[in-house]
């Protein structure tokens, strides 16, 4: 490996994505699930910016979309934390396994 | 190995290992700290890729905003049993197998260097985009976008020059969306008046 190429950045993005997906699936704490979502969005963002760097046609679009993703992530974190706090107020726990009132 | 390669290896290893640590650490407070390192490392990766403005935004919004929000959430809900929630050993085995398979699929499906027609001219001498160019792209000013043809077409097709687009309307929609979401979050998380009952 003498020169950093697009694939190296994509591997890094894939590692972040897999960690985030497993985090979402495994954590029992609702805030841990939220951290997994943040990791997944970061992996996607690395891919966007890497494509922007290595494909000259999308030199600016990649960064524009990365900015949109960051703003969406901020909105998502705010609303998810509000829901978690509401859940905690009503149930006195943040264990996602106990949220089963909608189970048929 | 050049200096840029060494720098990339250091930052990438830092970011990836921090992401793994977010996953494996059982304590939610430690997970939050590892998430901080991951987000900061991602911003370093953006700086390496020449995206200054995105990297600065990542530092401001993720490390400065979202992480503070997450830490407040941890502090408000961290009581006794919720700080460490154990996961069984069998689940760890299944999760690592599934994770390695998923990672393998993602790495196998990566596009080779030939995937983009014009990428051989890209890396070294590509003009580093400044935040001025990014702003002009948002406004859709003429000359902000690089002149190029649509990529991904078959070799025999005639080249199609891409049209100029403006991202001003999506930007407005996103900002109004953020405002609505923040008002909604404040409404959801407001302090409620309890009717008697709990102290």
- Contact state of A31 with B77 under an 8 Å Cβ cutoff: yes
Is 70 exceeded by the pLDDT of residue B195? no
Pairs from A36-42 (Cβ < 8 Å, separation ≥ 24): A37/A73, A37/A76, A37/A80, A38/A73, A38/A77, A38/B35, A38/B39, A38/B62, A38/B66, A38/B70, A39/B19, A39/B22, A39/B35, A39/B38, A40/A16, A41/A69, A41/A72, A41/A73, A42/A16, A42/B38, A42/B39, A42/B42, A42/B62
- B8, B15, B85: residue with CB nearest A8: B8
**What is the model's pLDDT at position B156?**
75
Tally the domains of chain B.
Answer: 2
pLDDT tens, B142-188?
Answer: 777 766 677 667 777 777 777 777 888 999 999 999 999 999 998 98
Domain extent for A83: 6-92
Is 70 exceeded by the pLDDT of residue B7? yes
Higher pLDDT, A11 or A93: A11
**What is the model's pLDDT at position B157?**
74
Instruction: Answer yes or no: is B199 within a domain.
Output: no
Which band of pLDDT confidence, cut at 50, 70 and 90, is reported for residue B198?
low
- Contact state of B32 with A3 under an 8 Å Cβ cutoff: no
Pair B97, B134 in one domain: no
Instruction: Answer yes or no: is A50 within a domain.
Output: yes
- Contact state of B87 with A53 under an 8 Å Cβ cutoff: no
Instruction: Answer yes or no: is B123 within a domain.
Output: no
Distance from CA of A53 to the nearest CA of B (A): 6
Which band of pLDDT confidence, cut at 50, 70 and 90, is reported for residue B44?
very high
pLDDT tens, A12-50?
Answer: 999 999 999 999 999 888 999 999 999 999 999 999 999
- B5, B42, B51: residue with CB nearest A52: B51
CATH number at residue B93: 1.20.120.1200
Distance from CA of A103 to the nearest CA of B (A): 23
Domain extent for B46: 1-103
- Contact state of B189 with A88 under an 8 Å Cβ cutoff: no
- Contact state of B66 with A12 under an 8 Å Cβ cutoff: no
Is 70 exceeded by the pLDDT of residue A81? yes
Chain A hits for B70, CB-CB cut-off 8 Å, are: 31, 34-35, 38, 77, 81
Report the mean per-residue pLDDT for chain A.
Answer: 89
Nearest chain A residue (CA) to B115: A55
Q: What is the ipTM, given to two decimal places?
A: 0.91
DSSP character string of A47-100 = HHHHHHHH-GGGTTHHHHHHHHHHHHHHHHHHHHHHHHHHHHHHHS--BGGG--
Nearest chain A residue (CA) to B171: A68
DSSP character string of B30-45 = HHHHHHHHHHHHHHHH
Cα separation, B121 vs B116, in Å, equals 11
**What is the model's pLDDT at position B179?**
95
């Amino acid at each position: 490996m003498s020169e950093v190429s697009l694939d190296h950045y994509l591997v890094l993005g894939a590692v972040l994505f897999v960690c985030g997906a497993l985090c979402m699936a495994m954590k029992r704490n609702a805030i841990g699930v939220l951290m997994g979502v943040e990791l997944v969005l970061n992996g996607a963002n690395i891919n966007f910016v890497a494509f922007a760097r290595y494909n000259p046609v999308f030199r600016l679009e990649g960064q524009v979309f990365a900015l949109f993703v960051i703003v969406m992530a901020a909105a998502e974190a705010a609303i998810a934390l509000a829901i978690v706090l509401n859940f905690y107020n009503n149930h006195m726990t943040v264990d996602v396994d106990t949220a089963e009132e909608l189970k048929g | 190995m050049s200096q840029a390669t060494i720098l990339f290896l250091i930052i990438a290893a830092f970011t990836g290992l921090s992401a793994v640590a977010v996953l494996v650490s059982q304590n939610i407070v430690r997970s939050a700290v590892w998430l901080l390192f991951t987000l900061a490392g991602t911003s370093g990766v953006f700086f390496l890729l020449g995206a200054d403005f995105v990297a600065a935004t990542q530092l401001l919004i993720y490390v400065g905003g979202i992480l503070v929000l997450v830490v407040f959430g941890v502090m408000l809900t961290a009581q006794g049993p919720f700080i460490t929630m154990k996961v069984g050993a069998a689940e760890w085995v299944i999760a690592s197998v599934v994770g390695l398979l998923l990672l393998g699929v993602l790495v196998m499906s990566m596009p080779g260097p030939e995937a983009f027609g014009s990428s051989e001219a890209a890396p070294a001498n590509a003009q580093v985009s400044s935040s001025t160019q990014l702003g002009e792209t948002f406004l859709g000013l003429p000359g902000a976008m690089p002149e190029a043809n649509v990529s991904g077409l078959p070799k025999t097709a005639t080249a199609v020059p891409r049209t100029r687009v403006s991202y001003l309307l999506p930007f407005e929609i996103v900002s109004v969306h953020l405002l609505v979401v923040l008002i909604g979050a404040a409404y959801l998380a407001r302090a409620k008046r309890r009717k008697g009952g709990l102290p």
